[in-house]
Amino acid sequence: MMKFYKKPFLPLIEFLGRLKAEKRFTEPPILIGGCGRSGTTILLSIVSAHPQVFACPKELGLFNKIKYDAEGNPGPHRIDRLYRAVLTSKVKKTATRFVEKSPSNVKQIEVIDQYFKKYKFIHIIRDGRDVVLSIHPTDKSKYWVAPERWVHDVSAGLEHLHNPHVLTIFYEDLMQNYQETMRQICQHCNLPLTPEIENWFEHTTVKKNKAYHGGVNKINTRSIGKWQAPEHQERVQELLDYPGAQELLEKLGYLKGQPSLEAFQPNTIKP
């Protein structure tokens, strides 16, 4: 909830921020979304290293709440958060676009599509059996992501699989086949694959985030397949028992050990 004393300044923040953003950002924005604990934050850190990108350092949740204008067109209720980030953050002189990461973006692609018109979206998916194992950062007695959230959020993103603005990738591919996955991302976003991306850890501007347990780490595969440990079987079974979860895991190729979108291609979908 916004502090009452901040509200009078919103029009000024939005005006100045919009001026700066329109002057600096001449290319379509990039938005990142996906179920929580699926790699949205590490992806933001990587993309932030690109010289042509300004990364909003914090989740803005622009589309967590939607408002409608007089013509009924939807838009973000708190667009001022974007303009505040632009005003208060150091923006690279070479940046021509911004990237914003909020996991919840994946549930609002239709609204994003209507609001921005021109944009690029990256939907990242991770094996739900690993996702549901993440412990909540502020309450160690709780898991961060419930089985139903993984099924709902992944399914919401997959509804836009064939949207030309949307690229769907797998967390496992990002960790295990970094160069090829980033080549696809840069191609989708019309960005050159620069040395800064190849050596992203040295150039990232997002080194701290509430999603990190500590600071950002280099690419590694330690978090892949943790679900196979005996101590996690009860939790994994909770996911498998949730309606639609096992079917989704199977369709995504996770039950065969190789994530893939092949089952979602038009020529393979059964009528």
Ranges of the chain with pLDDT below 50? 268-271
The amino acid sitting at 165 is H
> Cα 157 vs. chain centroid, distance in angstroms?
11
Q: What is the pLDDT of residue 164?
A: 97
Q: What is the pLDDT of residue 270?
A: 42
How far is 19 from 155, CA to CA, in rounded Å? Answer: 37
Q: Tokens for 165? A: 């603005």
Q: What is the pLDDT of residue 123?
A: 98
Q: pLDDT averaged over the chain?
A: 93
Please name the helix (run of DSSP H) or strand (run of DSSP E) that holds residue 74, with its range, or none.
Answer: strand 74-76
How far is 157 from 95, CA to CA, in rounded Å? Answer: 28
19: CB partners within 8 A, 6+ apart: none
Q: What is the pLDDT of residue 140?
A: 87
**How confident is the model over 62-101, as pLDDT tens digits?**
999 999 999 999 999 989 899 999 998 999 999 999 999 9
* Contact (Cβ atoms closer than 8 angstroms) between residue 226 and residue 132: no
pTM (2 d.p.): 0.93
Closest CA to 29 of 157, 156, 122: 122
Torsion sign across C-alpha atoms 250, 254, 255, 260: positive
Closest CA to 163 of 103, 115, 124, 120: 120
